[in-house]
Amino acid sequence: MGCNEKKDKNQLIRIVKSKDNEISIDRTGKMEGRGAYICDNEKCLEKVIKSKRLERVLETNISDEIYESLRGVILGK
């Protein structure tokens, strides 16, 4: 989503919006709900935060807690 490069799913992180409008990080790729993928890269995450692209794709506001969780997942490879 940040760099628009084609990559394998195992190189991406999936963010899911459930039917209850809860946002969560799905490392398995199997959770139910509307999903968006982001590279496992901090630069891509910064682009997504700055452009608010994730909010547009999932059609909801994303809290700073979710972005910090994503940053933790990326840095904790």
Exposure b/e, 5-34, CB count within 10 A at least 16 = b: eeeeeeebbbbbbeeeeebeeeeeeeeebe
58 inside domain: yes
Task: Check residue 40 and report its DSSP letter.
Answer: S
Question: Quick check: is 2 in a domain?
Answer: no
| Residue 1 pLDDT > 80 | no
Does the residue 15 lie in any domain?
Answer: yes
Q: Is residue 1 part of a domain?
A: no
Is residue 16 in a domain? Answer: yes
pLDDT score of 29: 85
- Domain total of the chain: 1
Quote the tokens at residue 13.
């992180």
- Identify whether 13 is part of a domain: yes
pLDDT higher than threshold 70 for residue 20: yes
pLDDT at 77 over 70: no
Task: Please check whether residue 4 lies inside any domain of the structure.
Answer: no
DSSP-based three-state secondary structure for 34: strand
Give the confidence band of 13 by pLDDT, cuts at 50, 70, 90. Answer: very high
The rounded mean pLDDT for the chain is 91
User: How many Å apart are CA 14 and CA 35, to the nearest integer?
Assistant: 6
**Domain residue limits at 41:** 9-75
42-to-20, 22, 54, 70, 73 alpha-carbon distances in Å: 28, 23, 15, 9, 10
- CATH value at residue 44: 3.30.1230.10
